[in-house]
Amino acid sequence: MLPRPDSFPVDLPPRHSVLSMPYTLTPGPATGTTLAALKQRRLLGSRFKTSGKVVVPAQDFCPDTGDSQFDFVEAPHTGVLNAFTETAEGLLGLVRIDGSDVDMAHRLVDTSYADLKVGQRVSAVWSDAPDAGYLSLSGFRPDASAPLGKVEPYAGGVEAVKVVPYHLDLHYNHAYGPFFGRLFDEMRTSGRILGVRMPDGDGALLPPREIDDISHRPSGTWVEIKQTGTVLAMSIIYLEFVGQKQPPPYIYAEILLDGARTKLIHNVSGLDMSRAKELVKPGTRVRAVWRVERTGSLDDISHFELLDGEEQH
Amino acid sequence: MGRHVAIVGVGQTHHSRRRTDVSQAGLVREATDRALADAKLTMEDIDSVVVASGPVLFAAVNQPEKWVVDAIGARLKPVVRITSGGGSGLAGALQGYYQIAGGQAERVLVVAYDKLSEGALQYSISTLYDPFWGREFAVGIMGFSAAYWRARMDVLGHTEEAAAMVAVKNRQNALSNPYAHVKQAVTVEEVLNSKPLAWPIKLLDVPPISDGAAAVVLSSERMAAKSTDRPAWIRGMGYFCEADNAAARSLLVSEPLALAARRIYRSAGITNPRRQFDVVEVQEPYTCFELSYYETLGLCQPGEAAELIRSGATAADGDIPVNPSGGCAGANPIGAAGLIRLIEGAAQVMGKPAGLRIPNAKTALVQSGGGWANLRGIAVLSA
């Protein structure tokens, strides 16, 4: 077969996608106790038993030796500014709390970049907000008169925070590339599904791609794929989970469209779900049903419906 | 090819649904301390560290190895993180194996973990899928796994009853495993009647969601005797991939696992796996996978898995025991699961399993994998 001539790429703007993920993080004993103590306007450190190192804020393991045996200590609210920078979020600094062997990163408040100097004395600024977490300690401000503080024995009376709620919203802009660009542009504008011919000309790769995965030879010319196909594999989803796009029950299906050599993942619906096990099986024939409003995604196909009276064995 | 490598120390946490008493790093520390103690070593004796864990979306910490090395006292040592979904633990051990076999290290600590209580599991796993082609329809790997089990039912006879027998066997075995976090004997009827999650997968076909860590100390032949007089020698180990959506993929067998088995069996001198292995540990995220692996690993011929489980051959007292530890049914901290399988296989040939002991176990087969069906590996261990 002759090689595929180059075609003009269809360039779509990147597709925006957001992952919105909830978390329940476990801080462990040292950080959990420190977080709880901050609410009481107390700053805790850990003094490691074998190395004698003092780490503020408290950590479970000595950063030098890995020692896991430690006593909590009450750290003073004063220290020295060892480094600083200005960010869009404000001023950040590395503060060496008096008596600590390590620096702690935190915000620098009630000051400006021009007024900061490495080596200057700083003192803690506390927040009145009830649920500020780590930011119960708002940050540190320059304080030339701050007295030299001392690490004291832990006074007790703190119930460690066990779980910290957290959330990540991750924004992505995925590039389509020339093959996906044409595929999804055609789906959106004309409701056609395009693949590329296999190097041997027998059937098509869907989604289209430049190189065949097995022979590693360049794929062939573009070809429209039929909108009917056969269910290769299916399951009935009852599970509910964060980020789910539709309420269960529904049918997850891997479908081989007629003329394609590779599968797509979609849903089979529009049927009596109480009979799903008998109506949808490997071999069941289905047809794409399109949405009226299309955006250029696989979801422009609303679902696959059963093709009555046809079954391939 | 390369130097001999042995497992000389193993350790794991008591796995549970949610460990609120330790951070991710604290979990890693527990397993590390146990493995070092088992190997009669301290961190000073370790030349290099491999940290293995699942996708960072599971627990929202990027490059966790930078945190973990401090927590295990390994600062200033060589460290690398390996991630390969459920296969992370085995893939991590493979990196340690390469370092020693290649003469770059004498002893390597491999520690694997996941703290699955922290994030949204199925949502995170769904990001395995192409953002343009399938992700919006993904149900973790459960939708996919159930779909191909349904296909194998027709072609290979992997019935719901046969899979239920896997659940019964593994949950029974987990009762004896002190590290398992699910200890609940079930019957075939209970499995069949349990709530469908992604039919044919039902609740009791599914492992628990676990917080847990596991660690092994790998050693060169030269240093092994300092830790134990009965190490588990790694006779072969490999991890293979296949094309994700290539033409002519039936997915009725795991092609990369078949490749791994053929390649590693040959180098390890395995010509009759059913007779030569004394014990097998497979990572069965769902019961249907164990049936499929019986066939792919050559414990029986394609189409015979249902009969193999029914015959009792893979029970702890059968002729080819599979998952006497209870497998993933006992605990499933995903990133650690492959290393736990390696530990359970090694502990059998070292003669010191924490749970059920297979008498005179000399040769063990361990399987693990990640992705959906496209990343799979094995290890062959011997006394």
Q: Is the CB of A264 less than 8 angstroms away from the CB of B134?
A: yes
Q: Does the CB of B138 have a partner CB in chain A at under 8 Å?
A: yes
> Are B259 and B372 members of one domain?
yes
Q: Are residues B282 and B363 in the same domain?
A: yes
- Let me know if residue B310 belongs to a domain: yes
pTM of the model: 0.95
Taking contacts as CB-CB distances below 8 angstroms, the residues of chain B near A60 are 22-23, 25-26, 29, 71
Asked if A255 and B135 count as a contact pair (C-beta separation under 8 A), the reply is no
pLDDT of res. A3: 66
Q: Are A213 and B245 within 8 A, CB to CB?
A: yes
Q: Which residue stretches of B204-279 are H helix?
A: 221-224, 255-268, 273-276
Q: Domain tally for chain B? A: 2
pLDDT, residue B235, reads: 97
Residues of B in contact with A66 (CB under 8 A): 43, 70-75
Q: What are phi and psi of A52, to 5 degrees?
A: 75, 0
Residues B212-229: tens digit of each pLDDT: 999 999 999 999 999 999
B193 touches chain A (CB under 8 A): no
Query: Do B23 and A24 count as a contact with CB atoms less than 8 A apart?
Result: no
- CA separation, residue A146 to residues A45, A74, A80, A123, A135 (Å): 19, 17, 10, 6, 21
At residue B359, the pLDDT reads: 96
Q: Do B245 and A198 touch (CB under 8 A)?
A: no
**Does B316 lie in the same domain as B340?**
yes
Q: What is the CATH number of the domain that holds B13?
A: 3.40.47.10
pLDDT digits (tens, 9 = 90+) for A181-197: 999 999 999 999 999 99
Please report residues of A whose CB lies closer than 8 A to that of B154: 281-283
CB contact under 8 A, A61 and B25: yes
Chosen domain end from B166, B189, B224: B224
B203 inside domain:
no
- Positions of chain A with pLDDT lower than 50, given as ranges: 312-313
Based on the fold, state whether residues B148 and B282 are members of the same structural domain. yes
What is residue A227's three-state secondary structure?
Answer: coil
ipTM metric: 0.95
pLDDT at A312: 47
> Taking CA atoms, what residue in A is nearest to B117?
A24
**Which pLDDT value is given to residue A313?**
43
Nearest chain A residue (CA) to B30: A68
Nearest CA in chain B to A234: B147
Q: Which residues of B touch A245 (CB under 8 A)?
A: 136-137
B155 Cβ neighbours under 8 A, 6+ residues apart: B252, B303
Contact B200 A235 (CB under 8 A): yes
Does a structural domain hold residue B128? no
Q: Count of CB atoms within 10 A of residue A6's CB?
A: 7
Answer yes or no: do B20 and A15 touch at CB < 8 A: no
> Chain A within 8 Å of B185 (Cβ-Cβ)?
no
3-state class (DSSP) for residue B79:
strand
**Is the CB of A235 less than 8 angstroms away from the CB of B201?**
yes
pLDDT per residue as tens digits for the range A214-234: 999 999 999 999 999 999 999
Residue B247 forms contact with A (CB below 8 Å): yes
- Please report, for chain B, how many H helices and E strands are present, in that order: 13, 11
The reply to whether residue A254 touches residue B147, judged by beta carbons under 8 angstroms, is yes
Q: How many CA atoms lie within 13 A of B355 on its CB side?
A: 28
10-residue averages of pLDDT along chain B (383 residues): 93 96 96 98 98 94 94 96 96 98 98 96 90 91 95 98 98 98 96 98 97 98 97 97 84 92 96 98 97 98 98 98 98 98 98 97 97 90 97
pLDDT at residue A310 in the model? 53
Q: Are A270 and A211 in contact (CB under 8 A)?
A: no
Q: Give the orientation angle of helix B334-349 with respect to helix B88-101, to 10 degrees.
A: 60
**Domain containing residue B24:** 5-121+210-224
Pick the CATH number of A177-311 from 2.30.110.10, 2.40.50.840, 3.30.70.330, 3.10.20.30: 2.40.50.840
What are the residue boundaries of the structural domains of chain A, listed by start?
Answer: 27-162, 177-311
Instruction: Please tell me which of the candidates A198, A212, A235 has its beta carbon nearest to residue B150.
Output: A235
